[in-house]
Amino acid sequence: MGDVIRGWRFPRLSELSLDDLARWLNPTIRGCINYYGSFYPGLLKRFLWRLDHRIEKWACKKFRHLRGSNNRSLKWLARYRAHHPSLFGHWEFVYG
């Protein structure tokens, strides 16, 4: 699963919007949740937290006001998650 995330290289795709990124990632995320969720829920949550970290990196590359501060990007993602809880398939599994 970690190789799959590393292979995506989506922090370089700063031309995408967050909705486009979610549309691109959600089929794979939901497949992982359906396949690994019932047998390895703890391992899967750690994997999905790493995915959130990659989304934060993507946001830092896309938005200038988030650059140079992990705290700002964490807060930005938490606010976005609160307003759009079903945007990414793993947010309901991990934070729901």
What's residue 83's pLDDT? 94
What one-letter code names the amino acid at 13? L
**pLDDT one-digit tens code per residue, 13-65:** 778 889 999 998 999 899 989 999 889 999 999 989 988 988 988 888 888 89
> DSSP character for 11?
G
Domain boundaries, the chain: 40-96
This prediction's pTM: 0.85
- pLDDT at residue 11 greater than cutoff 70: no
Give the whole-angstrom CA distance, residue 50 versus residue 2.
9
- pLDDT at residue 93 greater than cutoff 70: yes
What's residue 95's pLDDT? 86
